[in-house]
Amino acid sequence: GAGVSQSPSNKVTEKGKDVELRCDPISGHTALYWYRQSLGQGLEFLIYFQGNSAPDKSGLPSDRFSAERTGGSVSTLTIQRTQQEDSAVYLCASSQDQNSYEQYFGPGTRLTVT
């Protein structure tokens, strides 16, 4: 079946602009995660959605970052007033449910803020 997909694959934006990154998880997976990987760094947890529960937003670095998950499926990560330090690869992952540790990752969106 289809894996996790993300769009766009690459995004170049000017400092101060808003960007939206999209994630389509594997069908039927109730858990969805957003991470980012800056150059030379590991994966940094951003936010976690599980079913209809309130999301775990503990990893969001500032209030410029927000995410939604509509209908328990597609998720959008929004970064407002982008800064150069936001440049990174943003990865989305899904897992079957809250009891499953195995996460399936999408290919990522490479964001470059100029």
Partner 1 sequence: DQQVKQNSPSLSVQEGRISILNCDYTNSMFDYFLWYKKYPAEGPTFLISISSIKDKNEDGRFTVFLNKSAKHLSLHIVPSQPGDSAVYFCAASAHNYGQNFVFGPGTRLSVLP
Alpha-carbon gap, residue 25 to 31, rounded angstroms: 9
Give strand pairing partners of 57. Answer: none
Total residues found in the chain within this entry: 114
Site string for partner 1, 95-114 (x = CB under 8 A): x--x--xxxxxxxx------
Q: Is 41 in the site for partner 1 (CB under 8 A)?
A: yes
**Shortest Å distance, C-beta 15 to partner 1:** 25
Of 19 and 33, CB closest to partner 1: 33
Which residues contribute to the site for partner 1 (CB under 8 A)?
Answer: 4, 31, 33, 35, 40-45, 48, 50, 56, 58-59, 91, 93, 95, 98, 101-108
